[in-house]
Every structure is written in C-alpha cells, then in structure tokens.
Structure 1
C-alpha cells in the first residue's frame, strides 16, 4: 500500500513565489524518482492561503516559505497562528525557510528550542523572540517536529531534507543530482558577510566602531578603545557588547575576517599576504580564526566562491 505524505505550503502575503511553487515542483520530481525506484511513497502537495488554512484537513507537513517584501511575516494573522498550533498538536511537522521562521516563532512553539533564519534577519529575530535559541550559523536545523532553514534559497535544502526523511537518503541524492544542487553538508556562515550594527544609539561606542573600521589592521587593545570612548575598560566592555552583540575582540576578528574574504574573492594575494594586510603577523593564528568564523579553510573558501 502506497504511503501518502500530505504537504501544505502556506502562500502568505509577499511569500516568495519561486519558493512556493518551486517546493511543489521539487516534491513532484521526487515522486518521479520514488516511482522509478519502486518505493511505495508519494508526496501530495497543496498550496494554501492563510485565511483558508483552518479549512484544511490534517497534514503531515506544513511549510512556511521565505518572504521577499512586506512585514506580514513579522505579524501574521491569528487565523494562521491558530492553524499552525492546532496542526502541531495533531502531529504535523512544522517547517520554515528564511523569514518563515518569524511566523513559526510567533506561535511560541520555538521557545527554548534551536532555530535558524536568514543571517541578515538575525538581529530582528533575536530582539523579537528572546526565548528562541537562534543558531544563525546553521543552514538547517531539524528538531524533529519543527524544522527551520536559514537562507532565502534554503527552501531547496528544506525540501531535500524532507525527501530524505520520508523516503531514503539516496532518493534525496538522486534528486539533488537531477537539480544539480549540492547535497553535501553546508552551513549558512559559508555565505554570510559581517555587517556591523551601527543604529544602536550609543554614540561613544559608534565612534569606536568607526575607528575600528578605519584602522582594523592596526593593534587595537581594549585600553586604547576604552580611552577613545572616554570610559573605564569595564564599562566599555559592557557597553560595547550590549550595543554590537559582540565582545570587542570578537568584533575585530569578524571585521578582519570579512576583509580577508573580500580580498580572497577579489585579488590574487596569498593568504599569508592577506593575513598581514588585515593585522595578523601570525598566519596560522589567523587561519584558525578564519575557520572558526567562516567554517571553511581559506583554501576551501576560495575554491567554493572564486
């Protein structure tokens, strides 16, 4: 007897249409591969708008795709939130990609659980949902009954994850080959870039940030930075971390790593030359920092993106 997997994709206002319909087509293609390999599984996909969600019968999976505009995802309708909560209570797996995580978090079902979203939305998400354990480095987090994916194109990764979960990993890999999509392990931090937060309202810390931006290749000790802010070191450390969400050393590391990424992508300089140009005399030390922040070695980063 063929196992029917029921999937509902929520087409909310300003949802990314290529994701909404791309997911449906991904599962249709998966059905073709499943059939060719004589597995008794079939994905049945329905696209539903929020106001009609409560009219749906129970499904195995509900997917909240990315958004490309508007702010509906930040303040979804009570009808949709009720539907998601009820579906979850009935055993439905709830999934989100990119901004869809905001809708999922509004149900409070992500509270005290690990989740991810697009790295550019991380600050807004953390401010709005302080009870969620946001792991922005992860491209996808499968927590069993809840699955969240990060980047705007992570709906592909989410679809592949579901195919693997409800069929077999080799079905997912065969689908990946057909789509010409990398099905190997990836992390969102491979693709992120560090964009400092400047709109925090602390003018003294902002002055220090501007100084770091201009002089990142120089030796930047805490005492000097605290002096620029006209603060004690202890006060400076507390206020800098509060304003930027990073300790000064972490912040400087990320500035330097981002500069190194830019140089790896746009010049033919060796990593040794780049390390010196961004303020590291110890190349091996900087390589360790680079791998810790990006998740790839400099050589692997250049091979993937250049």
Structure 2
C-alpha cells in the first residue's frame, strides 16, 4: 500500500487539499469494487495542531503531525508527500511554514517521494529538492519562481513533471492531471481512465500555456531593458527587429540581448513574440475579425509564421484558442 500524506497548512487552497482526498479514495473504491485491494492510504498531516483552521471558511482534522512522521528510511513501505497549492504571498507563507519546508527536505533525503500541486511547488523549490530538475507551477508564479530559483528548470507550459522522485502539477485545476498521472503510475492506465471519467477530468498532459496571460516581465531594475520593453509594447503592431530596439536604447544588439535575457529570462525577440501573441489572444477573445486581419494588426505578414508562433507560445492554434475563449461566440 502506498501511503499518501497530504500537507495541510492554514494558507492551503481548500479545493487543492480536498480534491486529492476525493480522487485517491475514489481510486480505492474502484479497485475494491473490482475485487482488488486498495492501493492508497491517505492521511492529512500538519505541523503541530491536528485541527487546522484555514484562511477560508473551513478547517481540516488531520490524522498526523510532523512529530508523528519523523524522517526515516521508509524501508518496505512506499510513501509520498503531497503539497497542495497555497493562497497568498510566498514570503509570508514561508515565514509560517519553515518547519514544513525542512520536514519535506528531510523526508526526500531518506527516499520519500514528494509531489506538489500548482503553487505548492514553492515548498519543494525552497526545500532544495528541485535544483537541477524540471518543474511546473501556476503560470502566474513562473516568472517569480525563475527569479527566486535560477537553478531550477521551470516550465510554465507543462501540466505534469516527473523527475527524480519529485512530481509537480500545473496551475489551479489543471493540477488534477497530476493526480491522474499518479493514479496511472501506481494503479495502471485503465484505472486512470476510469478515474478521469468518474471525476470528469479532461486528460491533458501536454500544456497549460493557453491559460497564461502575459504581464510584461518587468519586475527588475534595469532601466535600459525597461525602456526597450516599453518601446516593444508601444510598437508591437509593427514589424519590430532587435536591431531597431537596440538603436532606440543606444546599445549594441549583442549587449541588448545579453542584458535583456539577464533581466527578463527571455530574449528581445521572444519578448516581441509574447507581446504580439498576447495582443492577438485578446482580439481572438473579443472580436470576430478574421485571423488574417488580426495577424496584420499585430505585426505579422505571413499566416504560417503567425500560426506557428501562436501555437508555440500558447500550445494551441489561433482557431482553437478562439473556439475555447471567444466571448462573442459564447453569446450567440
């Protein structure tokens, strides 16, 4: 039997803590109905108090505390700690949960596997167990995590990662795919299919990029790069070259690329593409303009190039994005 310990803390997102309980115990129900033994033993664990009042109108009655589960070699038993998403500013939450970070680190060092849902990945990153590995998180947290943890390969488009005894899931409800992944890994593909049907979870282990909203990557203090970003954001509808941007800030192309990448973790060309695609996304959501027309308006002249870049940035084609998110289509 696989012991799953779900970490409960007062800033945990209610649905992110409750959903794993439902899905993992639901998996056991399916197995028992089929005449098989249950696979998961699910317990809630908190730092000190077994009764945890959330920063929400709810509380959890935990079966265990950290003192009940000291880090030790797991021996014959298989164990996994699951860290649900948090709600709030990480600095504040970290101050209250340093013991949890240390507890996670010590358990990982003795062989316990660790998984996170959405922004629960901050706990794993702070514990140092993601260094040199690939992870994902909520798309809104990706830029902040890249600045805090430069030694981690943070892939905001990914829905699920599995790397060296650590698992991470994407943002909000897309992280339910992580639970499906764990069910499939430990119980088999057929049980995973049954769980996805029972809980009506769309199976998508590919990308969460189309959910993201590009917000400018301006949480740095490089005034030259900020000036370059401002120029790009004001002129995205033109066919902007990196040479043009470099000339506007009186810098060589090579130096601009170096400083831009250092400040924003992307190149000037990648930034231009992100700004253009974000503008295209808004047009697709809010208008019924032809794709070719809006392509010209955001500064592209070739439909194939536009479609290829749009799909690379968002994970879907322009038409697929419109079908999912167009307000005018939904009002018909």
**Aligned to 1:136, which of 138, 150, 156?**
156
Any runs of at least 4 consecutive aligned residues in structure 1 with deviations exceeding 6 A, and if so which?
A: none
Q: Which residue does the alignment assign to 1:33?
A: 30
Residues 295 and 306, structure 2, Cα contact 8 Å, conserved in 1: yes
Q: Which residue does the alignment assign to 2:10?
A: 13
Residues 5 and 82, structure 2, Cα contact 8 Å, conserved in 1: yes
Q: Tell me by how many angstroms 1:215 deviates.
A: 1.5
280-289 or 290-299: which moved more? 290-299
Residues 6 and 60, structure 1, Cα contact 8 Å, conserved in 2: yes
Equivalent pairs counted in the alignment come to 303
TM-score (norm 1): 0.91
Q: Which residue does the alignment assign to 2:42?
A: 45
Residues 140 and 149, structure 1, Cα contact 8 Å, conserved in 2: yes
Residues 75 and 103, structure 1, Cα contact 8 Å, conserved in 2: no
- Structure 1: how far apart are the matches of 2:136 and 2:128? 15
Q: Tell me by how many angstroms 1:141 deviates.
A: 0.1
Does residue 297 (structure 1) correspond to residue 314 (structure 2)? The answer is: no
Q: Which residue does the alignment assign to 1:153?
A: 173
Q: Which residue does the alignment assign to 1:23?
A: 20
**Aligned to 1:282, which of 296, 302, 317?**
302
**Aligned to 1:186, which of 206, 209, 212?**
206
Q: 1:184–1:246: structure 2 CA closer, same or farther, 3 Å change rule? A: closer
Q: Which residue does the alignment assign to 1:197?
A: 217
Residues 159 and 205, structure 2, Cα contact 8 Å, conserved in 1: no
Q: Tell me by how many angstroms 1:253 deviates.
A: 0.8
SS at 2:172's partner residue?
Answer: coil
**Aligned to 1:175, which of 192, 195, 218?**
195
Residues 54 and 83, structure 1, Cα contact 8 Å, conserved in 2: no
SS at 1:41's partner residue?
Answer: coil
Q: Which residue does the alignment assign to 2:79?
A: 60
Point out where structure 1 has 5 or more consecutive residues left out of the alignment: none
- Structure 1: how far apart are the matches of 2:134 and 2:209? 16
Q: 1:183–1:233: structure 2 CA closer, same or farther, 3 Å change rule? A: closer
Residues 159 and 204, structure 2, Cα contact 8 Å, conserved in 1: no
- Structure 2: how far apart are the matches of 1:131 and 1:249? 23
Q: CA RMSD in A?
A: 2.0
- Deviation sequence 1:220-260 (CA, Å, 0-9, x none): 22332222212233332222222222211111111111111
Q: Tell me by how many angstroms 1:68 deviates.
A: 1.0
Paired residues for 1:62-101 under 5 Å: 62-71=81-90, 72-75=92-95, 77-101=97-121
- Structure 2: how far apart are the matches of 1:116 and 1:69? 18
- Deviation sequence 1:185-231 (CA, Å, 0-9, x none): 33121211211122322223222322221211112223322222122
Residues 236 and 272, structure 2, Cα contact 8 Å, conserved in 1: yes
- Deviation sequence 1:252-306 (CA, Å, 0-9, x none): 1111111111111221122211211111111111111111111212222233334
TM-score (norm 2): 0.84
Paired residues for 1:222-301 under 5 Å: 222-301=242-321
Point out where structure 2 has 5 or more consecutive residues left out of the alignment: 49-64, 327-332
- Structure 2: how far apart are the matches of 1:140 and 1:300? 22
SS at 1:46's partner residue?
Answer: strand
SS at 1:99's partner residue?
Answer: helix
